[in-house]
Amino acid sequence: MTDLTSRLAFQLTALNWMMATAESCTGGLIAASCTDLPGSSKWFERGFVTYSNAAKTDLLGVQPDVIAAEGAVSEAVARAMALGAFYRTPARVSVAVTGIAGPDGGSADKPVGTVWLAWCIDGLVHAKRQQFEGNRKTIREATVTYGLHGLLQRLPHAPY
């Protein structure tokens, strides 16, 4: 993870951009992995841990009717979370995750390990559903890695 976070830090620093996180199922692990790196205040702006639906609404502006219609673990909510983090901070990029880490909470449509991730770059959002295997710890770790890797892939190349 350190190598991935270091590459992300390098890229964001070269662009002179800040990032923000909006996390549900990872409970702040993405922000923690970023801030574990010394000097992260140069490129990490803030993180929102919005575990409850009320937090998603209060802190990120996710509309309650979207949560009611689509469910908290959905593309629409992940996109709204990413946009909420983007518009509520001076960050140029954000990553958002919402999912079911288990061991309970899954359903036939959304089994344990279902995670929606969204990345916002200057207001443009990309979202993707992933199905991770394993226990709660491995699902959350896989989500962190996938989320950071996805952001790094979507960043423009830094001017060198």
Q: Which CATH number covers residue 41?
A: 3.90.950.20
pTM metric for this prediction = 0.96
Indicate whether 160 pLDDT > 60. Answer: no
Q: Structural domain tally of the chain?
A: 1
- For 2-28, write each residue's pLDDT tens digit: 899 999 999 999 999 999 999 999 999
pLDDT over 70 percentage in the chain: 98
In a domain, 159, yes or no: no
In a domain, 131, yes or no: yes
In a domain, 27, yes or no: yes
In a domain, 67, yes or no: yes
Contact 132, 111 (CB under 8 A): no
Q: Which structural domain, as residue segments, surrounds residue 19?
A: 2-154
So what's the pLDDT on residue 120? 98
List the beta bridge partners of residue 9: none
The CA radius of gyration of the chain, in Å to the nearest whole number, is 15
